[in-house]
Amino acid sequence: MIAALRKEMLLQWRTRTQLMAVFVFGATALLLFSFGVGPNSEVLRQFSAGFLWLGLLLSSTLTLAESFHAEMENRALEGLLLLPADPRVLYYGKAIANWIQLTLLGAALVPIMVVLYDAGTSRLFSLLAIIALGAAGLSAPGTLYAAMTAQIRAKQTLLPLLLFPLIVPALLASVKATSLLILGDPMRTLGSWISLLASFDAIYWALCGLLYGRVVEE
Amino acid sequence: MAVDAEHISRRFGRRWALTDISFQMPRGSVMMVAGPNGSGKSTLFRVLSTVIRADQGRASVAGFDVKTHRDDVRRAVAFLSHYSYLYESLTARENLQVAADHAGLTRDRVMPLLDRVTLAARADHAVSTFSAGMRKRLSFARVLLQDASVVMLDEPYAQLDPDGFALVDDVVRDLKSRGTTVLIATHQIDRAQKLADAALFLDEGRVRR
Amino acid sequence: MNNRFPRLPYVLLAIGAVLFLFGSWWGLFVAPAEVYMGEVQRIMYVHVPTAWNWMLAVIFTFISAVVFLFTSDYKWDARVEAGLEVSSLLAFLLCCQGSIWAKPTWGVWWDWDPRLTSVAVLLFAFLGIVALRNFVDDAPRRAIWSSVATIIASVDLPIVYFSVKWWNSLHQPQSTPETVSPAFHLPLRVNAFAILFLMTGFIMLRARIASMRLANEVAPPPLVEAGEMA
């Protein structure tokens, strides 16, 4: 498992310029959202959480797909499976690496959100926790579907097509929770949203790990 | 028997890539597998190394059935495939280290192996800068890393220069002297014949007698 | 699919059609109008049975996917294929019915009702899997992948439902044409069975088509005897 993680982190470090590019993509998306809505600060602030997560979601399609590019160009994944390496371990290694990457991306987009939408919060630690949980929700099924779609033709369209309906609960919960942090939580519902998000994460990290072997092996 | 194949058949869609392949290899022997392009050599190797499954027939490698004891077979086999199994953005050294880590082996074998395949000078260069011949050597090193009892080489001479040819011959002789069973798929029949104890000729997925 | 009763799906479709006509006629013309909502509420006679059957179709597809992963028997993949499409069709109908009801009642086409929204999400999820099937030519891989995707999407359904319900509960009251008093039970049940028969007939036919295509792709062409060159 450590071996898998080490490799993933090394690969990510080597391709870190791509992460920079994806960040710019995400930031641009946030900018475009505000153009879509109009220069009304109040409205922008209200929807800031939604924009942040939509931006992160769109960016995730890029990073998730990219994470399998290295595995497929020379069939390196097959090479590892033949050593033999346990597919479940490979899955969790990749999913964790993607999770870290998405969390970093999300955290990097926060300042953009603060500036563009005048949407900040003093509870930064909670915000980071929510971003981490939400990113975990994207990463688990995302890594599985990225592995699938990396092996076929229409990879760019199919990954979002498969992933987006699936992560609706994670998206709702993340947006709601982030929104409560920014706009205030008079009825103290933050905890329930975080529980929902955590449950989604737990279920999918378990389920996708179980199914991964069938997806990458013949 | 190190390798025992019985009536192996495999198809892709409606085309049978392998039909009724049967053969045996005693431990420590070297067998050459030859045949025109598309004759099924790679498919056969992929079945025996458990990358894909046979549709019919059974096979055992290193005493383990390829269908029921896949992981045991994988532990015993090192496979040099058409695909290099390399990560482009990692260096030669790192690629071998990743393989060693995942196979549960120590990293100190890595440098000596790079030496053996004369890539020591480029150990810390990214694979993306390597020529085809260098990648082949690196993949070779990866195979040797695994200390397998059965080694399958799919076109080991491809993309190599004359020095590389000599290296392959050297390595195969070395492996043989250590009792490793070796399968070589190749077009270089003359070269391989000098190393091999036996030969299998394939044509259109069948054994040609 | 077993073809021991080749006419069975057609029989089911015929019975289903007749029942549906009867049930709908009853619901539309004979049953009394509901006190508060009036004539619009009559759509419930179609909507509720469709919803029940949609749920059944989804469960059927999910179970077929699980069984396929365990048995690798392609008839279950044919059932997954049929189930995906029929569930999607029913889901689409549900959304349309929901909109038809919502517009006169609430003034908007879509009111984010948790149940209907979950249906919509699963509709998109299943359509995605249908698309996936179209892009994978290799039959074994296609079957395994769509079963995996179906399981993942189906497991999500209850989670989606709860999350949308929560999300919406802060803004709007529940709104579906659900209130039923005993006088209305008969047409509802008749239609429920009607749609059940129709749906089963369609699934059987669709699975049969899928099976035939799979038989062509998966069952091997005859293996010529060793010694003869093909």
What are the structure tokens assigned to B2, written together?
A: 């190190």
Share of chain C above pLDDT 90, in %: 33
Beta bridge partners of B4: B24, B60
Closest CA to C80 of C26, C129, C21: C129
What are the structure tokens assigned to B98, written together?
A: 């990743």
Select from A158, A166, A214 the Cβ nearest to the Cβ of C135. Answer: A158
**C-alpha span between C20 and C22 (Å, rounded):** 5
**C-alpha span between B186 and B183 (Å, rounded):** 10
Mean pLDDT of chain B: 92
Query: Is the pLDDT score of C10 beyond 90?
Result: no
Q: How many CB atoms lie within 10 A of CB B145?
A: 20
Query: Is the pLDDT score of C208 beyond 50?
Result: yes
- Residues of chain A neighbouring C163 (CB-CB closer than 8 A): 168-169, 172-173, 196, 200
Beta bridge partners of B203: B206
Q: Rounded mean pLDDT of A87-102? A: 96
pLDDT at C36: 59
Local structure of residue C30 (DSSP, 8 states): I
Is residue C71 classed exposed, middle or buried when 0-12, 13-18 and 19+ CB atoms within 10 A define those classes?
exposed
**C-alpha span between A175 and A39 (Å, rounded):** 21
- Residues in C 124-163 with any Cβ partner in B closer than 8 A: 138
Contact between residue C50 and residue C90 where contact means Cβ atoms under 8 Å apart: yes
Query: Is the pLDDT score of C180 beyond 70?
Result: no
Closest CA to A82 of C1, B51, B203, C135: B51
3-state secondary structure of A14: helix
Q: Which of A83, A88, A90, A92 to mutate to test the interface with B (most CBs of B within 10 A)?
A: A83
- C31 versus B120: the higher-pLDDT residue is B120
Inter-chain CB proximity B20 and C220 less than 8 Å: no
Inter-chain CB proximity A76 and B87 less than 8 Å: yes
Range in A11-20, A183-192, B17-26, C168-177 with the lowest mean pLDDT: C168-177
User: Strand (E) positions, A29-99?
Assistant: none
Contact between residue A106 and residue A52 where contact means Cβ atoms under 8 Å apart: yes
**C-alpha span between B146 and B150 (Å, rounded):** 10
pLDDT at B50: 94
Q: How confident is the model at residue C1 (pLDDT cuts 50, 70, 90)?
A: very low
Inter-chain CB proximity A70 and B146 less than 8 Å: no
**C-alpha span between A47 and A179 (Å, rounded):** 8
- Residues in A 22-41 with any Cβ partner in C closer than 8 A: none
**C-alpha span between A127 and A107 (Å, rounded):** 9
Select from B71, B79, B101 the Cβ nearest to the Cβ of A6. Answer: B101
pLDDT at C2: 52
Local structure of residue C28 (DSSP, 8 states): I
Select from C221, C226, C229 the Cβ nearest to the Cβ of B14. Answer: C221
Q: Which of A152, A166, A172, A174 to mutate to test the interface with C (most CBs of C within 10 A)?
A: A166
Beta bridge partners of B108: none
- Residues of chain B neighbouring A3 (CB-CB closer than 8 A): 98, 101-102
Contact between residue A30 and residue A51 where contact means Cβ atoms under 8 Å apart: yes
Q: Rounded mean pLDDT of A32-48? A: 89
Q: Is the dihedral of CA B126, B128, B134, B138 positive or negative?
A: positive
Contacts of B56 (CB under 8 A, 6+ apart): B7, B8, B9, B10, C223
Query: Is the pLDDT score of C100 beyond 90?
Result: no
From the CA of B197, how many Å to the nearest CA of chain A?
A: 27
**C-alpha span between A205 and B111 (Å, rounded):** 38
From the CA of C125, how many Å to the nearest CA of chain A?
A: 5
- Residues of chain C neighbouring B20 (CB-CB closer than 8 A): 223, 226
Distances (CA, A) of A49 to A46, C44, C160: 8, 37, 19
- Reported as type and span, the H/E element at residue B16 is strand B15-25
Select from C128, C136, C160 the Cβ nearest to the Cβ of A152. Answer: C136
Task: Provide the H-helix boundaries in chain C.
Answer: 8-25, 44-71, 74-106, 114-135, 139-169, 185-218
- Reported as type and span, the H/E element at residue B158 is none
**C-alpha span between A102 and A100 (Å, rounded):** 6
Q: How confident is the model at residue C32 (pLDDT cuts 50, 70, 90)?
A: low
Look up the pTM and report it: 0.89
pLDDT at A118: 85
Q: What is the pLDDT of residues B168-200, one digit of tens each?
A: 999 999 999 999 999 999 988 888 888 899 999
Q: What is the pLDDT of residues B93-136, one digit of tens each?
A: 999 999 999 999 999 999 999 999 999 999 999 999 999 999 99
pLDDT at C88: 95
Chain C residues with CB under 8 Å of a chain A CB are 69, 121-122, 124-125, 127-129, 131-132, 135-136, 140-141, 144-145, 148-149, 151-153, 155-156, 159-160, 162-164, 166-167
User: Residue B126 phi/psi, 5° resolution?
Assistant: -65, 145
CB-side exposure of C63: number of CA atoms within 13 Å?
6
Q: How confident is the model at residue B82 (pLDDT cuts 50, 70, 90)?
A: very high
**C-alpha span between B143 and B183 (Å, rounded):** 13
Q: Which of B11, B74, B81, B101 to mutate to test the interface with A (most CBs of A within 10 A)?
A: B101
Report ipTM for this prediction: 0.91
Closest CA to C62 of C142, C156, C140: C156
- Residues of chain C neighbouring B40 (CB-CB closer than 8 A): none
Those chains having 3 or more beta-carbon pairs within 8 angstroms of chain A are B, C
Contact between residue A198 and residue A207 where contact means Cβ atoms under 8 Å apart: no
What are the structure tokens assigned to C53, written together?
A: 């059957």
Q: How confident is the model at residue A24 (pLDDT cuts 50, 70, 90)?
A: very high
Inter-chain CB proximity A161 and C128 less than 8 Å: yes
Query: Is the pLDDT score of C179 beyond 60?
Result: no
pLDDT at C228: 44
Contact between residue B7 and residue B56 where contact means Cβ atoms under 8 Å apart: yes
Query: Is the pLDDT score of C220 beyond 70?
Result: no
- Residues of chain B neighbouring A82 (CB-CB closer than 8 A): 49-51, 74, 77, 79, 85
Local structure of residue A218 (DSSP, 8 states): -
Inter-chain CB proximity B13 and C221 less than 8 Å: no
Those chains having 3 or more beta-carbon pairs within 8 angstroms of chain B are A, C
Query: Is the pLDDT score of C15 beyond 90?
Result: no
pLDDT at A140: 96
Select from A7, A74, A78 the Cβ nearest to the Cβ of B98. Answer: A7
Share of chain B above pLDDT 70, in %: 100
- Residues of chain A neighbouring B52 (CB-CB closer than 8 A): 218
b/e per residue, C91-120, with b = 16+ CB within 10 A? bebbbebbeebbeebeeeeebebbbbbbbb
- Residues of chain A neighbouring C140 (CB-CB closer than 8 A): 218
Inter-chain CB proximity B74 and A14 less than 8 Å: no
Q: Rounded mean pLDDT of B68-80? A: 94
Query: Is the pLDDT score of A53 beyond 60?
Result: yes
Inter-chain CB proximity C148 and A215 less than 8 Å: yes
Closest chain A residue to B147, measured at CA: A83
b/e per residue, B11-22, with b = 16+ CB within 10 A? beeeebbbbbbe
Q: Which of C62, C148, C162 to mutate to test the interface with A (most CBs of A within 10 A)?
A: C148
Angle at A77 between CA A71 and CA A81, to 5 degrees: 170
Q: What is the pLDDT of residues A99-143, one digit of tens each?
A: 999 999 999 999 999 998 888 888 889 999 999 999 999 999 999
3-state secondary structure of B22: strand
Query: Is the pLDDT score of C25 beyond 80?
Result: no
Contact between residue C51 and residue C96 where contact means Cβ atoms under 8 Å apart: no
**C-alpha span between C111 and A19 (Å, rounded):** 39
Closest chain A residue to C124, measured at CA: A165
Q: How confident is the model at residue C192 (pLDDT cuts 50, 70, 90)?
A: confident
pLDDT at A52: 95
Query: Is the pLDDT score of C230 beyond 60?
Result: no
pLDDT at C199: 85
Mean pLDDT of chain A: 92
Distances (CA, A) of B146 to A147, B45, C112: 26, 17, 58
pLDDT at B89: 93
**C-alpha span between A43 and C52 (Å, rounded):** 40
Q: CB-based contact (8 Å) between C170 and chain B? A: no
Most distant CA atoms of chain B, gap in Å: 48
Query: Is the pLDDT score of C183 beyond 70?
Result: no
